[in-house]
Structure 1
Amino acid sequence: IRPVSCSVGVLPRVHGSSVFTRGETQAMCTITLGTSSDEQLVDGLIEEYTQKFMLHYNFPSYSVGEVRPIRGPGRREIGHGALAERSLLAVLPAVDQFPYTVRLISDILESNGSSSMATACGGCLALMDAGVPITKMVAGISIGLVKEGDKSVLLTDIMGEEDHFGDMDFKVVGTRDGITAIQLDIKIEGIDHDIIRQTLHRAKEARLNILETMAKTLPEPRKEISKFAPRLLTIKIDPEKIGKIIGPGGKNIKALQADTGAQVDIEDDGTVYISSVDGMAAEKCRDIIEAMTAEVKVGKIYTGRVVSIKDFGAFVEIAPETDGLCHVSELSDKYVDRVDDVVQMGDEVKVKVLLIDDQGRIKLSRKAAMQELGESDPEPVNAGPREGDGGHDRYRGDRGGDRGGHGGDRGGHRGPRREGSRSGGGDRGGRGGDRGPRRD
């Protein structure tokens, strides 16, 4: 194997980078992390599909000392990139573990054979430098063959001339435990099983040797992604509540994105991707969405905001787009004459959910919440004591006229109490006049 050297973090501004050199072949790999909106849309043979991992391989003319116009990718670039992409795809984490869209670009700086294998090795290091939690490290090698009659010689890590004059180019990529991709190019009629067996054995030895060198540079993926990469959070919601987040004409989601500065993408299955350059903005957006889609539970105490006041009670918003009625009788443990004696528009109050009816209407109680929290209201200013509190001046409401207090003017002069009479008050009517003295 030609001398191998590698380094990571060579471009500090990108999300991950590496340079892998083997002999006179060198590849610089860079990683860009994106969101679900950055997925590549592929127009497939049958239907369209998206890719979350893309590897773009560039082979500029200067890498082989030539000067020619730089045009779009050709057959060679597409083929080499597809092989390296297949090699790394096997060790990428699941989407629920790492929801980022990953783009890997390999720029071949110089080439003298096996640039696609250099891309696989350098791409693995760049992924690890970017903090992508790959399951295992990957390395690749090319095995060549020169065959004359019954004689054959295997060549490990072939250069450009050996590839040109040789009879085989067998590329093998894998981890310490197995193979992730192979590609075989031959110029002869065929090879027997013994040659294939020897090739795979040699490739494994070379692969383990390269992996050991790579591990000295970066033994495992970084724990944190680059500070320049977007922060991406994922939550799962009830698909039936997607419309609640989006709102009429996208009103809610537009306001949410404008307020937090985060980008929100929602899948049909209820998976919500929240991305932002600022991690705090993404967390704030996540908290709002969780509050909007949270299931209101009976018996739970919420801190809500008064959004409407009626004669019969107050409507309190306990979650975004979710409010309930706190009846006047449930506002306080004291007598309440008017709702606005206790709460005002915009006040934050603690309420307990008493009931959710079959139509989804929520019944709230501030009184029950205060009792559970051990709190109490002072006596309302504009109301007397409640009926049943005791005392002579208990409030009875309007009974149609001034009745006065006990012992006061009750409407007419009563006159002096008769001697022997049970009670004074003049002719009361309907009693038959003077009853006479009491019997002994």
Structure 2
Amino acid sequence: ENMMTAISAPREDVSKYAPKLVSMTIPTDKIRDVIGTGGKMINQIIAECNDVKVDIEDDGRCVIYHFDREMLNKAQAMIENIIRDAKVGEIYEGKVTRIEKFGAFVELFPGTDGLLHVSKISYDRVEKPEDVLKLGDIVKVVVTEIDDKGRVNVSARDLLEKPEGWDEAQKAKKEAFDKRRNSEGGERRVFKKKD
């Protein structure tokens, strides 16, 4: 009852002058990414977050200390971006960072790019990626595949509404291609090496 006369519920946060900490776990194989070459990445986090203190143990335990809750949250978000992995089915609004003949590379989050193949840009035929994309464009994409080497493939087309009759049009194109191939060369022949 005496406590209730002073304060009716716990405060949402401690005083702005009180030291605060956030604890998280980093996968051990990502510790070197957070620290960076010669401590470059961890020093950048410290500098950008008003001299936040970061302790990382060998087992991946990470504790961030600061008086300012905003700086704590910013440092935590920066570390989470470094250790983050893309997952199939996740949707991102990424920036086009490179354009090649076969497609464009889209930065999903810092340190991770996805390949947007020219065939996955739109349902309409795109001859060259630069016809519809330019460096710095923000593109909404979905992760469609991550291969065994960790390369990420994305699609913008899969997030668009499928045009009416698109499946039938694709089927007709395939049948026309198969018919043309068969008329030009007939069935595929297998040649065996003579002894």
For normalisation by structure 2, the TM-score amounts to 0.71
1:342 to 129, 132, 135: 132
Checking the alignment, whether the CA contact within 8 Å between 2:16 and 2:68 is kept in structure 1 is: no
| Residue 281 to residue 375, structure 1, CA distance change in 2 (3 Å) | farther
Q: Distance in 2 between matches of 1:301 and 1:345?
A: 20
Aligned-partner SS, 1:228? coil
Q: Helix, strand or coil for the counterpart of 1:306? A: strand
Equivalent positions of 1:42-57 (< 5 A) are: none
Any idea what the Cα deviations from partners look like across 1:206-264, whole Å, max 9, x if unmatched?
Answer: xxxxxxxxx9xx9xxx7543321233111112111111111111222222222232332
Query: In the superposition, relative to structure 1, how do residues 242 and 230 fare at CA in structure 2: closer, same or farther (>3 Å)?
Result: same
The answer for the alignment partner of 2:85 in structure 1 is 295
Distance 1:265 1:301 in 2: 32
Q: Could you give the per-residue CA deviations for residues 329-378 of structure 1, whole angstroms, max 9, x where no partner exists?
A: 1112222122122222122221111111111111111111x22xx599xx
2:21 maps to 1:232: yes
In the alignment, the residues of structure 2 paired with residue 358 and residue 345 of structure 1 have an alpha-carbon distance, to the nearest angstrom, of 28
Q: CA RMSD for the aligned pairs?
A: 3.0
> Contact 2:91–2:141 (CA<8 Å) still a contact in 1?
yes
Distance in 2, matches of 1:341 and 1:230, equals: 53
| Contact 2:99 2:129 survives alignment (8 Å) | yes
Unaligned runs of 5+ in 2: 164-168, 171-195
SS at match of 1:244: helix
Whole-Å separation in 1 of the counterparts to 2:49 and 2:157: 35
Give the equivalent residue in structure 2 for 1:246. 35
Choose from 317, 337, 344 the match for 2:107.
317
- SS in structure 1 of the partner of residue 58 of structure 2: coil
Give the residue type in structure 2 aligned to 1:294.
Answer: R
2:34, 2:82 within 8 Å by CA — same for their partners in 1? yes
1:257-315 per-position Cα deviation (integer Å, ceiling 9, x unaligned): 22232332211111221222221121122122222212321121122222211111111
Aligned length: 161
C-alpha distance in 2, partners of 1:247/1:330? 34
1:333 aligns with 2:123: yes
Shift of 1:324: 1.8
SS of corresponding position for 1:363: strand
> Does the residue aligned with 2:44 lie in a helix, a strand or coil?
helix
Match of 2:148 in 1: 358
SS of the residue corresponding to residue 290 of structure 1 reads helix
In the TM superposition, what whole-angstrom CA distance separates every residue of 1:139-162 from its partner, at most 9, and x where no partner exists? Answer: xxxxxxxxxxxxxxxxxxxxxxxx
Sort the Cα spacing of 1:251 and 1:375 in 2 relative to 1 into closer, same or farther, 3 A. Answer: farther
Asked whether 1:281 is paired with 2:47, we answer no
Task: Determine the C-alpha separation between the residues in 2 that align with 1:346 and 1:277.
Answer: 36
Distance 1:293 1:375, change over 3 A: farther
- Taking the aligned partners of 2:162 and 2:46, their CA distance within structure 1 comes to 38
Matches within 5 A, 1:163-174: none
Residue 260 of structure 1, aligned match among 43, 49, 52: 49
Matched residue SS, 2:31: helix
Answer with 1 or 2: which has the greater Rg.
Answer: 1
Structure 1 pair 255–243 and aligned structure 2 pair: CA distance change class (3 A): same
The answer to whether the Cα contact below 8 Å between 2:81 and 2:110 also exists between their aligned partners in 1 is: yes
2:125 is paired with a residue whose SS is: coil
Q: Please give the alpha-carbon distance, in whole angstroms, between the structure 2 residues aligned to 1:331 and 1:253.
A: 36
Output the CA distance in 1 between the equivalents of 2:21 and 2:152: 34
Counterpart-to-counterpart distance in 2, 1:331 and 1:233: 40
What CA distance in whole angstroms lies between the structure 1 residues aligned with 2:46 and 2:131?
37
| Cα distance change on mapping 1:290 and 1:375 into 2, 3 Å | farther
| Contact 2:144–2:154 (8 Å) recurs in 1 | yes
- Unaligned 5+ residue runs, structure 1? 1-214, 377-387, 390-440
Identical-pair percentage:
42
Separation in 1, partners of 2:94, 2:54 = 25
What residue identity is the alignment partner of 2:19? P
